[in-house]
Chain A
Amino acid sequence: MTVASRVTSGLFSETGAGPIRLLVYLLAAIALMVADHRTALVERTRAAASSVAQPLYLLAALPARLTDAVSSAVASRSELLAERQRLSQQLLVAQARLDRLFAVQQENVRLRELLGGTRGLLLSVQLANVMDVDLDPFRHRILLDVGSNRGAREGLALIDAHGVIGQILEVSSLNSTALLISDPNHSVPVQVVRTGLRTIAYGTGRTDSLLLPNIPQSAEIAVGDSLVTSGIGGRFPAGLAVGTVAGVEDDDTRLFLVASATPAARLDRSGQVLLLWSSESALDMGPPVELMVPAEPQEVR
């Protein structure tokens, strides 16, 4: 419309795609991106609009859920029995460990009282399902079915049965988006269990490896060391498993070591995860009786 008018018709007609119009749209898009990136202005509209997208997510997750349903419907009796056997064994072991932990916990509480020291942190968990939706294969993000309506908020840590998965990035009323620890933009403060060395584990963009750069040459770190969160920074509570060191070598300057680690958690963007947040604890906390009630957070120590 704004470009030089070419008098044509039919098949070769001018389609209203002049450079000026393109420029206007591009500028609008860039302005939106900058606004979204730099300010919190767009965030609320975004959160509202994301809940409109909910039916789309459900629809897109349908095939995966159908295959799940079909596979569990046709699973043979012997398979189910074997699975039941395995799970009950696991439960037995877990129960035994919990009992042991309970004793340690009691002792810990008594010692704290003797010291008159600070109270420990109370961890609350909430079960969340990962929606079977692929947001972008090149960004390590997952979509959870818990939103602000069920208490999710930005910055909460996510774990599974084996270790840390990531943290919540964005919350809308029905969903939230989480960033995995394998994302190149993510980093976790970690501690080597064996030596107490503190460092930071960065994501690499691959789900099977984390990177720990800038470790002093004198530091004590070896292949097979397990890494836990150090609790520094306050995002992740201390003591959660992060991974095991898979390799240690000199970096390019030969002044520092670079270690790589295998994440402990399964980062394959499916299944269930636990949302985790910490608060000041009351003194009389025991281990959970029922951990897995998704509706409201239960309290675990």
Chain B
Amino acid sequence: MRLRGSALLPASLLVALLLGLLPLPLELAPIKPFWLALVLCYWLLEAPEHVGLGVAFLIGLAADLVYGTLLGEHALRLCMLAFIVLRFRPRLRFFTLWQQALAVFAMLLNDRVVVIMIRGFSGEAMPGASFWIAPAVGLALWPWLFLALDGLRLRARQRGS
């Protein structure tokens, strides 16, 4: 049972990493949500005994290598996110789905600000207004993602026992 449940975690993170690489048509490209953050957020809420700051950091490093960003950029972003989620975890867990989605939205916005700061410091150009669409997409996706992952986890557990 333990094995089943713990296989879902790396698998879902891997899928999130892949979804981040998935090409979209040029006009739709800005709406791509930060999948990795959403999935990580779920696991931070549901299984904080497996996922913590360290794991977030390592996943971030892997993402940096795969996405070709500055080494440490995703690590920093995911660490920030993980810290906030873990801090407010007791409260977040008792929110309704849509309240949770709003909280996730706020965290994704914060993540965007972090990205802008990193880019500012590394001397890159500022992205346009469509940069801010992705968090809203994350907001809309969160309830469905949460329910889907919850369902998968429950099924894995039932099959295990």
Binds B, one of A129-137, A152-160, A281-289: A129-137
Residues of chain A contacted by B126 (CB below 8 angstroms): 184
B57 partner residues in chain A, CB cutoff 8 A: 25, 28-29
Q: How far is the CA of A163 from the CA of B32 in the complex (A)?
A: 29
B125: chain A residues at CB < 8 Å are 183-185, 205
B71, A17: Cβ atoms closer than 8 Å: no
- From DSSP, what is the main secondary structure of chain B's interface residues? helix
Chain B residues lying within 8 Å of A139, measured Cβ to Cβ, are 124
**In the assembled complex, which residues on chain A have CB atoms less than 8 Å from the CB atom of B67?**
135-136
Q: Select which of B54, B65, B128 is within 8 A of A46 by beta carbon.
A: B65
CB-CB under 8 A from A207, the residues of chain B are 26
The number of residues on chain A lying at the interface, defined by a beta carbon within 8 Å of a beta carbon of chain B, is 54
Residue of B75, B118, B131 touching A138 (CB-CB under 8 A): B131
User: Which residues of the partner chain B approach A185 to less than 8 Å between Cβ atoms?
Assistant: 123-125
Among A32, A139, A177, A268, the one with the most B-chain Cβ atoms within 10 Å of its Cβ is: A32
Docked pose: A12 CA to B90 CA in angstroms: 6
Which chain B residues border A177 with CB–CB below 8 Å? 68
Distance (Å) between the CB of B141 and the closest chain A CB?
16
> What residue of chain B has the Cβ atom nearest to residue A134's Cβ?
B23
Which of B2-10, B14-22, B97-105 lines the interface with chain A?
A: B14-22
Bitwise, B59-71 to A at CB < 8 A (1) or not (0) is 0110001111111
Q: Which residues of A contact B (CB under 8 A)?
A: 11-13, 15-17, 19, 21-22, 25-26, 28-33, 35-37, 42, 46, 49-50, 52-53, 56-57, 59-61, 63-64, 132-139, 141, 143, 170, 177, 183-185, 205-207, 268-270
